[in-house]
Amino acid sequence: MKIEHTNIVYISTGSNMGDKLENCRQAIAALNKTDTVQIESISRFYLTEPMEYSDQPWFVNAAAKIRTSLDPVNLLAVLKSFEVEYGRVDSGVRFGPRPLDFDIIFYNDMIIETPQLIVPHPRMHNREFVLRPISDLAPELIHPVFNKSIHWLLDELSSQNQQCIPMEEMAN
């Protein structure tokens, strides 16, 4: 039986190793089976161009709106444990290939800055692969630092031409 989940959190997920889409789908489903997390909604899945370190396969990315009873640090620990379970190891390459990545993008409307966690995610406003899936779920959600909507942030970013292709378009 699940306990009451009072915190609303937006997380992103991504993978560029193995069956990328299935890694993301399975990890979200497994997260929903825990007693501490309930998935409210999931964005579309996107095929996205790597950033920062381009010599690697493209990613599959998505976002989920969740409810949780966990505080931010414990939620981060759970997400990181799923990454390890799916085979993530520290390759020494920042932003390098990985079978699974989870990030906390928003935790309620909190602003958190600790050595282990910064929320809202500090680079989200520069990443279409984060903004577009979050926009699928909550385009009018207000970024608590910038005081701008996700839709506005995405519009501002659109001139950078980051490749973020909805996967259902690729099936056609």
Catalytic residue among 35, 55, 90, 98: 98
Whether 98 is catalytic is yes
Cross-strand pairs, 37: 68
**Annotated catalytic residue, options 55, 67, 88, 94:** 88
Catalytically annotated residue among 67, 103, 109, 127: 103
Place of tokens 């958190």: 112
Answer yes or no: 127 catalytic.
Answer: no
Of residues 67, 101, 109, 136, which has the active-site annotation?
101
Q: In Å, how far from its chain's centre is CA 98?
A: 14
Q: Which residues are designated catalytic? A: 88, 98, 101, 103
